Amino acid sequence: MMQRNLGLDILRTFSISMVLFHHSGITIPQLVRPGLGSLGVEFFFVLSGFLIGNILLNQLQKDNSLKSIKTFWFRRWLRILPAYYFMILFKFVFIDHSIGTNIIYYLLFLQNNFFGIDFYDVTWSLVLEEWFYIMLPFFLTVFLKLKGAKLKTGILYFILFIILEHILRFIYVQLKGGSFSAINGNVILRFDSFMVGVILAYLKINYESIFKKLNNKLIFLSAFIIMVSYLYLLNSTENPIQYFDNSTLLKVFHYSILSGLIGLMIPVFFHLNLTGLNQTIQKLLTFVFTNVSKLTYSLYLVHPLFYFVIHTFDPNYSKLVFFLLTIVSAIALYFLVEKPFLKLRDKKIKE
């Protein structure tokens, strides 16, 4: 299991901040497609692919067996499901039970493709992650059996996977048209964003010299500038939403462009350290970023419960109330639900 990494904790903190700021109304008005929140989630997808890819590749390269896959799923499910089910059932029982028996779609992570996300909107991204966790072990098992650990062979497999995703998106657009939202939450059309992170994990584990070469400030700065320029061009049209939704090219390639650029930034974050700063400041920043990072999942899950605050309270302090309620609730969810199950997971694995 990968140890805590300060740079990745910083990236997590900025990513969840983008989501929370967007939903609180603190956003970049010119950034419409994708919005600030969607951009934050895209960072999460690539980061998730990197972290999960690192865990699973390490495991399967030691023991490419069904037992390894079961262990991986056990770890993931005890990480994701308890807090997820708690929040879904909490909202269903105490806030809104009008969904009735259709709650089953949420319990089985089928809402994106078969029902809709109105009941709990932020779960769309968790659906993508959960199905990616189910799919990835099978892909990597075959990948490794076909000598995927060899650089040329491995990269070819990854490229073919990403090409397949583009083909699927193209077919979908030709058959159904599809808006940004329709494609953005469609399970089988979005795996390439995660796979960018898995490719980075593959390089880190098997070809560390290449991964280290990507720890380059020029590469990072270039990727950042290109991303900002791309988003500026995308949003500088008269109607960015229509512009995106009417463009087959964007609907097919947008996600891989964005995730690819984010992927080029990950190595710099991974190798980031605070050497040179005052020790007290180092400790303070490490404490803040580490603990916010631990709360990321809980923050993401609980914050939709407080959307109403933005529209109910005086605008002068509604955002402050929103953040306070979100943070306090996230801390409670983490310590009452997340952490106990994480301890149980680690205990069971050691046994």
- What does the pLDDT look like over 130-142, one tens digit per residue? 999 999 999 999 9
Of 113, 127, 133, nearest to 195 (Cα)?
133
Confidence of residue 277 (pLDDT cuts 50, 70, 90): confident
Other Cβ atoms less than 10 A from the Cβ of 95: the count is 11
Domain spans in the chain, listed from the N-terminal domain onward: 14-278
CB 15 within 8 A of CB 44: yes
* Site of tokens 């953005």: 184
pLDDT tens readout for residues 287-332: 999 999 999 999 999 999 999 999 888 888 899 999 999 999 999 9
SS3 246: coil
pLDDT tens readout for residues 188-246: 999 999 999 999 999 999 999 999 999 999 999 999 999 999 999 999 988 999 999 99
Other Cβ atoms less than 10 A from the Cβ of 137: the count is 21
In whole angstroms, give the CA distance from residue 164 to residue 158.
10
Note the pLDDT of residue 1.
54
Which burial class, exposed, middle or buried, applies to 322 when counting CB atoms under 10 A from its CB (0-12, 13-18, 19+)? buried
What percent of the chain is predicted at pLDDT more than 90?
85
In whole angstroms, give the CA distance from residue 252 to residue 263.
18
This prediction's pTM: 0.95
Other Cβ atoms less than 10 A from the Cβ of 312: the count is 11
Confidence of residue 179 (pLDDT cuts 50, 70, 90): confident
Mean pLDDT of the chain: 94
* Site of tokens 């740079």: 7
